[in-house]
Every structure is written in C-alpha cells, then in structure tokens.
Homo-oligomer: A and B are copies of this chain.
C-alpha cells in the first residue's frame, strides 16, 4: 500500500489505536464548560511544588500517570514518549520524564506539539518500530506569562486580541491494537508566515498555517469539511477561527457547519473574560485528551480532524522585529479503522 497520498498526507496502513488518554487542568479550566471531562483539576497552581515551572512538570507527570492507570499500563510498557512544552529548552517535559526511563524524543512545535507528537507516535507504531507510544504536552499560565510577557504579579493589562494560556496537560497513548478511535491520516505542517508581527495576536499569525494544512488534507484525501463530524484547530481563538472560515470561504469551502477551535471550547470565552480564547500546548492537548476523545468513545463524533497550530516565535525574535511563523499539524481520528 502506498502510505503517502498527495503531496503532504500520510495514510496509515494499520491505523494505530488510542489506547488511553488523560487530561489535567487548573483553576480556570475547572471553571470552564469542559470541567467534567478532566481526569484531575487542581486549585493549587504550584501543583505541590515550589515553583510554577516545577508545577508544570508535575502536571505532565500527573497526565502521564492517569493515562497509564486508565490503560492498565506501566511506564515500561511505553516504547517511546514524544513530549514538549513552551518553556525555554522544554524543561517542562525533560524534568517531568526524568525519572521514568521511557525512551524520549523531545519536540518543539509550540501549541501544535500535541499534533506533532501524535503524528510521530502514530508513524513509529505503523512502521513497526513501537507497539505503544505516548504523546504528552503541557502549558501553564504563570510560566508562560513570566517567560513570554511579564511575571503575573506585575498585573499587566491584556490587549483585546490576547489569548489565555491554559494551565493544563494532556497525554494520549497510542498502540498497535485496541478499541480505538484510530489515527487514520496525518498531514504534516510546514511553516507559513504572512508577516503578522504582533505577539498579542497569535490567532491571526497562525490562521494561515491552519488553512494551509487543512486545505492540503482535504486535497490529498479528496475529502471536504462535510466528510467529518468535527474539525478542530488548536488555539486560534475567536479571531483566528474566523480568519480560517474566511480563507476557506474564498475557495468556496464552507467551514461554518462543523468547525471549532480548542481555544474556544476550553473556556467560556465571554463569561470567563478570556478575550480571544485559550492557548498554550496544554489547551489543545487537554481538549483532545478529555472532551474530544471521550466524545468519540461515546460516538458523539465518529470522524474528526484534530489540527493544533503553533506560533514559532520567541521574545527574542519579536524584539528583533521578526514576524511570527506559524505551523499546523493535522491528524484524522476515526472510530472506523478503515478511516
């Protein structure tokens, strides 16, 4: 069977099964509409640790532990873990996995990391290199604010286009066999940069990458939005979501029926005063590993596109006047192993 279809998409020959998944979140996530879909919610934003950064690593450990427990697995049952986060040098992941002994490939895909991790895990299983692989990522409001903008205690004013970094982590364990849902197709992202340079407007910066990858997926698989029960991007928020709808409308493609965004799902955006919505690696990861995969198991949806997006900027690149490169990695998840 030819595994590559079209220019950018891979069709998995033996679609890997989602064996187990878990999501953990913080206070704001526990106030949001998805509160009942988390495996653990903590009011302690330090997660019992002395610093926020260590707290973020603790969140990842909890997400991994819940996923292992729910799947009846031990750490030694996992052949590879793909993990990453937003912190400089991805210390959220390297310190969370330090004591596990699981072979580890570190990723940096900003808020697209769960899509990247899921893609690589699925391909290594389908290729016969692993029986089970985990995708793991996190973000933390306080670590992200301190690193990218200002320490939280400064009380900086937020702009209307700003998004709220989720304090959350998600873990998804794929396997070569199991009950599903299954990962059937993957479309790899490429870097798209349309020149947006406002670090408080990530949605606009990332929307063209989401459009680029989703359009490639539809083209390569000869499908249309109506062929899916749900299409979700990661963390574009209100503005980015609307830009994607507009970009597809220009091509005569209707995205108004079944398209949503993890940043709009995780929070009650208006009620919780979230400006443009949620963001952060943990946003799409926890929405996938709670709301979306539970919904698929309950047959609320049978075939979805999960397409998290990442903004590949740093404070240094912004200070040097650079625009914001975006990327989006898409995966098709289906309750039917034939896709």
Which A positions have Cβ atoms within 8 angstroms of B? 3-4, 8, 10, 13, 50-51, 53-54, 79-80, 84, 86-91, 94-95, 97-98, 100-110, 116, 119-120, 123-124, 126-131, 147, 188-191, 193, 312-317, 320, 322, 325, 327
Q: For A98, what are the chain B residues with a Cβ–Cβ distance below 8 Å? A: 191, 193, 325
Contacts of A124 in B (CB 8 A): 123, 127
Is A314 touching B88 in the complex (CB atoms < 8 A)? yes
A190 to B97, CA, bound (A): 9
Chain B residues contacting A51 (CB-CB under 8 Å) are: 320
**30 A–B pairs (Cβ distance < 8 Å), ordered by A:** A3-B128, A4-B131, A10-B129, A53-B320, A80-B188, A86-B89, A88-B88, A88-B316, A89-B313, A91-B312, A91-B316, A94-B191, A95-B317, A95-B322, A97-B191, A98-B193, A100-B191, A102-B190, A103-B188, A103-B189, A104-B188, A105-B107, A105-B188, A106-B107, A106-B109, A107-B108, A123-B123, A123-B127, A124-B127, A127-B129
A127 pairs with B127, CB closer than 8 A: yes
- Whether A91 touches B317, Cβ cut-off 8 Å, given contacts A98-B325, A104-B188, A191-B98, is yes
Q: Which residue of B lies closest to A103 (CB)?
A: B188
The reply to whether A89 and B108 contact each other, CB–CB distance below 8 Å, is: yes
Inter-chain contact B104/A313, CB cutoff 8 Å: no
User: How often does this chain occur in the complex, in copies?
Assistant: 2
Which B residues are in CB contact (< 8 Å) with A54? Answer: 320
Within the assembled complex, what's the spacing in Å between the Cα atoms of A13 and B10?
Answer: 20
Contact check, A312 vs B116: say whether CB atoms are below 8 A apart.
Answer: no
CA distance A223 to B108 in the complex (A): 34
A166 to chain B, nearest CB (A): 18
Are A316 and B97 in contact, CB atoms less than 8 angstroms apart?
no
Cα distance A313–B98 when bound, in Å?
Answer: 11
CB distance from A170 to the nearest CB of B (A): 18
Q: Which 10 A-B pairs have the closest CB atoms?
A: A127-B127, A103-B188, A94-B312, A89-B314, A108-B108, A88-B88, A106-B108, A90-B108, A3-B128, A88-B314
Min C-beta distance of A323 to chain B, whole Å: 9
The reply to whether A313 and B108 form a contact with Cβ atoms under 8 Å apart is no
The residue from B100, B108, B322 contacting A84, defined by CB atoms under 8 A apart: B108
The smallest beta-carbon distance between A46 and chain B, in angstroms, is 12
